[in-house]
A and B are shown apart, each in its own frame.
Chain A
């Protein structure tokens, strides 16, 4: 792994986030920041609060305490579509695509925010709608080329194997040209070869578009290989934050993963 260009300013900062559902404390007093262009992984055992953290970042959950700051400005309680408009895109742990639509159409939905033609123009495919769709289609084709899914361009998503659906979901997320991309277990259930492909795509996205990526992943090998920084959660608390090397040698992290000897 290379680059010197990397890591710019903090673009998203979460301060003292606490989130609970009834009596269940999902997140307790968590602070973290995400720096521009970095590839940040969040790891932790099941139920550690990783997905909850992503959900807080893109506005699905609203924490009872704490403050999220986006590009230096404190952010109130927002909805996911507002987060999308800010430039935050994500993929889901369980794939959330339109199964009956083709790969191409699914990725086109990722361009929704970039289209401005009104309903009537779109229904008639006339004027602005036509011009826009052609421009957007070109962008989408670039993404298709980037993620090497040309062969399935016209295939309905429901007919694709799991690994490819994951890739289509990634395609739709980057179609929004996000500043910050949240990936929730993009490699779950994949074989070694598929994982390798996915790693390469994630690194390439990070490298080619400078997209900041926050990744949740269970495969330690993958996380340690591709991340610039790793944050470790356990029972809703942050127990580690640093380079892969630091985190691997952090006694708290080792204890959380391997258990301590008392």
Chain B
């Protein structure tokens, strides 16, 4: 692929070279932060270079060499990020794994990748690896960062990271040039990372990227948004996820900005407030949680605060977005907004840790218009992007002044996007993946000979040139009367209600649409508390009649809005039930990135789906669940099924106004 060459020819082309570059150009600037014993500790680029040097040489002494794979498992810890860099310095390929995956899932990835060494966070991960030791014969060594609880483990494979760092330092003292020589060998075309796809379909595949594709993509995106070495980000999303790799690793290395690691996964909110990032990525559900929390707390606030909040939020909704996007706004409206900033928006942003935020991205799922408007109205520049592991995230991104909740923006710099005849989105660009690990067949299926990559998503460009994504192409279906059925669209519309956490819609080939619902325990819980309803837990609350009535209201509201859209009026939800348990990745119902696995759920709960369509009013279910510790048990319950009112459509059902939408189905 030809990419316009940048004027600064001297810029490094691999991450190891970037490390040396920063250690030379900005040795004292902060590179990584971590909270230790309640106090933020900072590593400068010089410190990071020293540490990575020792780590790389130490790992080399353990037998890691060019082309070998290094598994990395744990929460976002500086040492784990540095291990990633150390592996790349050796020409090895780091393979980050989802840290909350159960042992058997890890065994698959470790064996598939053929990882030789694993660097893990703590005892929890060590235990998981030792459990599946036999299934991963290639795994020769396990290095752990936190020695707690591991003192009595007598396994030759286990090494404290301090020991590895120590042997690396010794090697560095005897051969001071070795590290620089290793770094000099790294090349743009080298494989730099392997990220396993979450696998909504089939077994996970390792997506391999080269230094070249990652560096170029990260640099393009940073230039597009004007990111500098002065940014601060909080790395809190799973390291195995491509977004974290781009935002907390690659972009930090190409611009030299500082990455902070949360103290623990429970303290992210506090850490966010203390760090005050300037640049932030979160999936829509995180923004949703933030908004829900604000709203719940405002409900409990004193009447004065409550009224002030609603008055100024109303004002912000009216003029906030215009001010943010630099459109003309009347003088008094500006004065009002300033006052609101001082009294409401400023404090709200401060509580969220967004006071210094210049740019926030969201992606992965559709985001509710209300949610989007809320954050933009109080002056947070939140934008959507559309990405894939295969593209190293960046396919489309919204421009600052053209941000809308229902699109994902225009193609990112250097990326071409087209819609196939069947309505599927295809892209090609500098960030295109190298290959699927050991899966030439799958690589060839996904990427055409001339470089176009199939995304599997159905979408179209709107009049504005912005891409709209409808659903996974294979999920778009039809009801038995021929009208369009787009499950994701229904699910998203419902998920925008604060009481609903997760939805799975059914209807392909059926007479009407139905849905499984997961309530949002905190939102419905506080709703129930206000009404004095007693409940013991999720299962109990979900089964209560008032909750069902509440959800029916939500569904009917949605049905009414669907009725106005001739294409979708047919897919109003007629019957629904509330699941007795939350959908869980441990049970295989969600992917590790929390997307519903539609097919799996349909099989697992087939009796419930039958009950939704056979007119019965309740159905018994008995399923096996896995607990966090890997044991399993059974939950059984009798679920009631409720009907919701549907509304007559405003136009004939089968008059699709958009060709692409109907075509989307054929892509399946």
Q: Is the interface of A mostly helix, strand, loop or mixed?
A: helix
With contact pairs A141-B37, A141-B38, A192-B627 given, residues A150 and B263 touching in the complex (Cβ less than 8 Å): yes
Q: Interface residue count for B (Cβ, 8 Å)? A: 16
Give the number of residue pairs across the A-B interface with Cβ within 8 Å.
Answer: 38
Q: Are B628 and A193 in contact (CB under 8 A)?
A: yes
Please give me the residue from chain B that is nearest to A191 by CB atom: B537
What are 20 A-B contacts with C-beta separation under 8 Å?
A3-B152, A137-B38, A141-B37, A141-B38, A142-B37, A144-B38, A145-B37, A146-B148, A150-B266, A151-B270, A153-B38, A192-B627, A193-B629, A196-B629, A200-B149, A204-B148, A204-B149, A207-B149, A207-B152, A208-B148
**Residues 106-156 of B at the A interface (beta carbon under 8 Å):** 148-149, 151-152
Chain B residues whose C-beta falls within 8 Å of the C-beta of A3 in the assembled complex: 152
The chain A residue sitting closest to B266, CB to CB, is A151
Q: Would you list which residues of chain A between 116 and 173 have a CB under 8 Å from chain B?
A: 137-138, 141-142, 144-146, 148, 150-151, 153
CA A107 to CA B469, docked complex, whole Å: 52
Listed in ascending order, the chain A residues whose CB lies under 8 Å from chain B are 2-3, 137-138, 141-142, 144-146, 148, 150-151, 153, 192-193, 196, 200, 204, 207-208
Given contacts A3-B152, A145-B37, 9 further A-B contacts (CB under 8 A): A2-B152, A144-B38, A150-B35, A150-B266, A150-B267, A151-B267, A151-B270, A193-B628, A196-B629
State the CA gap A142–B39 with chains docked (Å). 11
Q: Does B650 contact A (CB under 8 A)?
A: no
B151 cross-chain contacts in A, Cβ below 8 A: 207-208
Tell me the bound Cα distance from A200 to B628 in angstroms. 15
**Closest-CB distance, B513 to chain A (whole angstroms):** 37
> Closest CB of chain B to A226's CB: distance in Å?
13
Q: Once bound together, how far apart are the Cα atoms of A168 and B586, in whole Å?
A: 29
B264 CB-CB contact with A under 8 Å: yes
Contact mask for chain B residues 25-53; partner A; CB cutoff 8 A; 1 contact, 0 none: 00000000001011100000000000000
B264 touches A193 (CB 8 A): no
Hey, which chain A residues are within 8 Å of B266, CB to CB? 150-151
Q: Whose C-beta in chain B lies nearest to the C-beta of A154?
A: B270
- Residues from chain B with a CB closer than 8 A to the CB of A148 are 264
Nearest CB on A from B500, distance (A): 25
Residue of B nearest to A141 (CB): B37
B155 → chain A, closest Cβ, in Å? 13
Q: Which of A138, A142, A193, A207 is within 8 Å of B627, CB to CB? A: A193
Of A144, A145, A148, A153, most buried by chain B (CB within 10 Å of CB) is A145
Q: Which parts of B74-115 form the interface with A (CB within 8 Å)?
A: none
Taken together as a complex, chains A and B put the C-alpha atoms of A208 and B146 apart, in Å, by 13
Q: For A142, what are the chain B residues with a Cβ–Cβ distance below 8 Å?
A: 37
How many angstroms from the CA of A138 to the CA of B152 in the assembled complex? 27
A200 to B263, CA, bound (A): 20
Interface 1/0s, chain B 263-274, versus A by CB < 8 A?
110110010000
What is the minimal beta-carbon distance from B368 to any residue of chain A, in angstroms?
A: 28
Query: In the assembled complex, which residues on chain B have CB atoms less than 8 Å from the CB atom of A208?
Result: 148, 151
Give A150 Cβ to nearest chain B Cβ, in Å: 5
CA distance A141 to B149 in the complex (A): 18
Closest to B633 in A: A192
Could you say which residues of chain A place their CB within 8 Å of the CB of B264? 148, 150-151
Interface residues of B in 248-300 (CB under 8 A from A): 263-264, 266-267, 270
Q: How far is the CB of B234 from chain A (nearest CB, A)?
A: 15
**With A and B bound together, what is the CA distance between A153 and B266 in angstroms?**
11
Q: Nearest residue in A to B263 (C-beta to C-beta)?
A: A150
CB distance from B185 to the nearest CB of A (A): 40
CB distance from A146 to the nearest CB of B (A): 8
- Bound-state Cα–Cα, A247 to B151, Å: 29
Query: How far is A200 from B149 in the complex, measured between Cα atoms in Å?
Result: 9
A208–B266 Cα gap in the complex (Å)? 24
Q: A200 → chain B, closest Cβ, in Å? A: 8
Residues from chain B with Cβ under 8 Å of A204 in the complex: 148-149
Query: What's the Cα separation between A142 and B37 when bound, in Å?
Result: 6
Q: Would you give the shortest CB distance from B421 to chain A, in whole angstroms?
A: 52
A138 touches B37 (CB 8 A): yes
Query: In the complex, how many angstroms separate the beta carbon of A220 from the nearest chain B beta carbon?
Result: 18
CA distance A208 to B267 in the complex (A): 25
Q: How far is the CB of A175 from chain B (nearest CB, A)?
A: 14
Closest CB-CB distance, B5 to chain A, in whole Å?
47
User: How far apart are B635's CB and chain A's nearest CB, in angstroms?
Assistant: 14
B250 CB → nearest A CB, Å: 28
Q: Which of chain A's residues have a CB closer than 8 A to the CB of B627?
A: 192-193
Report the bound CA distance from A137 to B151 in whole Å: 26
Query: Which of B38, B39, B270, B627 has the largest count of A CB atoms less than 10 A from its CB?
Result: B38
Q: Which residues of B contact A193 (CB under 8 A)?
A: 627-629
Chain B residues closer than 8 Å to A137, beta-carbon distance: 38
Taking the closest CB of chain B, its distance from the CB of A163, in whole angstroms, is 14
Query: Please, which residue of chain B has its CB at the minimum distance from the CB of A137?
Result: B38
Contacts of B629 in A (CB 8 A): 193, 196
What's the minimum C-beta distance from B391 to chain A, rounded to whole angstroms?
Answer: 35
